Structure 1
Amino acid sequence: MTVHHPQTPQFFLTSPSACPYLPGRAERKVFTHLVGDRAPGLLDLLSQGGFRRSQNIAYRPACERCRACVSVRILVDEFEPARSMRRILSKNSDLVARMAAPSPTSEQYSLFRRYIDHRHATGGMAEMSVLDYAMMVEDSQVDTRLIEYRVKGPDSRFTQSSDGELLAVALSDVMADGMSMVYSFFEPSQDQRSLGTFMILDHIERTKKLGLNYLYLGYWVEGSKKMAYKIRFQPQEHLTPKGWERYSG
């Protein structure tokens, strides 16, 4: 008879469902719950094995015949922005970023809905209500931060009350060896700003300032247009059967 210690995490396997990245394929995930005082340490350990967090769940792909999803992390101390990335930083020099505890607002949800309706109207998050959004933000047992990106007001250096329009939001975890971008969204009418890239660049700098080594970007899927942007941030490591290895593609 197998006896489970009460502090030992139990893992579960989902039923097959349509793959959101590669047409005609099915996906399965293995997952466990992140609860209690041990949740931060468990997330640190599982992240080394390619797990991601969603609310109080840690998960990773466990597809039977496919290994297309590859965990990616940026080596922040070695990162140097390309010329195109420096232009994006310049375009967004009129923004101010505020990092705080994860607290949902109606303004965030309105931006979230515009983003989802414009970019992912047929995706799994299309039906998320304001309550679902609040749970996504607040339901965390680890060190989670919410970063708002707003147009600078005349007194943004001194007071948040003068900050202008909300253009982007990132929900991120701080772990023992790095930051992990859990979910981010932005104003879809501001394509010229490349806000998705800008938030990753901002997170690279935040990770450096925290004295941490890696920025975890989740999964890269070769052949998926949705994931192609992640390869632009070099140098980076990919999780392989031999462990984390520098990617040189």
Structure 2
Amino acid sequence: MTSHSVNSPQFFLTAPSPCPYLDGQSERKVFTHLVGQNAAAMNDLLTQGGFRRSQNIAYRPACEGCRACVSVRILAGEFRPTRNMRRVMARNSDLVASDYDAEPSSEQFALFRSYLDSRHRSGGMADMSVVDYAMMVEDTHVNTRVIEYRKRVEGDGILQQPAGPLIGVALTDMMSDGLSMVYSFFDTSLADRSMGTYMILDHIRRAQARGLPHVYLGYWVDGSPKMEYKTRYQPQEHLMAQGWQRYKP
């Protein structure tokens, strides 16, 4: 019988299932559990090795014959916004962002459901309940924060918690070398704000303010139009067979 140290993670492989990004392809994932006192350090190590976190699971693609999914991280210290990105930041200068412990709220869930119904009606998360959402936020053994974006209203400079309407939320892991954007959602009716772009730009700013070198965006999927936006934030690195390599668009 093989014995395993409690400090050594055990990895498992999922059965094949349809790929959500590329038609006609199937996907498999290798995963392990992030629990215990070493969870944060293990999450750092695995994220740097191309894994993503979902609740207390760290996973990465392990598809046979396909390497389209590529881990992406922005080099925050070198990042300079484009003219269009500066316009997005100016357009959202009336927002206030606050970060909290990883605790869900009914207001967050209402926005989350609206976002899924608008953008991911047929996706794998489409049937998530309020309990599922709470688990997504709370089931973490690492330093996870909820960042809320609200429209600034009179009195927000005095109140400890902003009172304006909630229009965006990011679930973010605070790592030793950067910020990992686990999941984000927003009010899709406010298309002119480009909230998806703004939240990434805000995370870059937060990483810069903390002297952290990276913002992890998850996977860029070569050939998937819905993932093209991730290559807009330059400079960035992609995790290749040789390690992290600067991406040249």
TM over 0.5: yes
Q: Quick check: 1:232 aligned with 2:236?
A: no
Tell me by how many angstroms 1:162 deviates: 5.0
Unaligned segments of structure 1, at least 5 residues: none
Deviations 1:168-198 (A, max 9, x none): 0000001110000000000010111000000
Tell me by how many angstroms 1:6 deviates: 2.4
- For 1:162 and 1:228, the matched residues in 2 are separated by 33
Tell me by how many angstroms 1:26 deviates: 0.3
What secondary structure, in the 3-state scheme, does the structure 2 residue paired with 1:218 have?
strand
Unaligned segments of structure 2, at least 5 residues: none
Q: Give the equivalent residue in structure 1 for 2:104.
A: 104
- For 1:157 and 1:62, the matched residues in 2 are separated by 48
- For 1:162 and 1:134, the matched residues in 2 are separated by 22
- For 1:94 and 1:81, the matched residues in 2 are separated by 19
Provide the TM-score with structure 1 as the length reference: 0.98
Q: Give the equivalent residue in structure 1 for 2:248.
A: 248
Q: Give the equivalent residue in structure 1 for 2:73.
A: 73
What secondary structure, in the 3-state scheme, does the structure 1 residue paired with 2:202 have?
helix
Moved over 4 A (4+): none
Q: Give the equivalent residue in structure 2 for 1:40.
A: 40
Q: Give the equivalent residue in structure 1 for 2:16.
A: 16
Tell me by how many angstroms 1:161 deviates: 4.8
Q: Give the equivalent residue in structure 1 for 2:136.
A: 136
- For 2:88 and 2:6, the matched residues in 1 are separated by 49
Paired letter, 2:23: P
Provide the TM-score with structure 2 as the length reference: 0.98
Percent of paired sites with the same residue? 63
- For 1:162 and 1:36, the matched residues in 2 are separated by 34
Task: Work out whether residues 154 and 162 of structure 1, in 8 Å CA contact, stay in contact via their aligned partners in 2.
Answer: no
- For 1:207 and 1:157, the matched residues in 2 are separated by 24
Aligned length: 249
Tell me by how many angstroms 1:13 deviates: 0.3
- For 1:171 and 1:96, the matched residues in 2 are separated by 16
Q: Give the equivalent residue in structure 2 for 1:117.
A: 117
- For 1:39 and 1:102, the matched residues in 2 are separated by 16
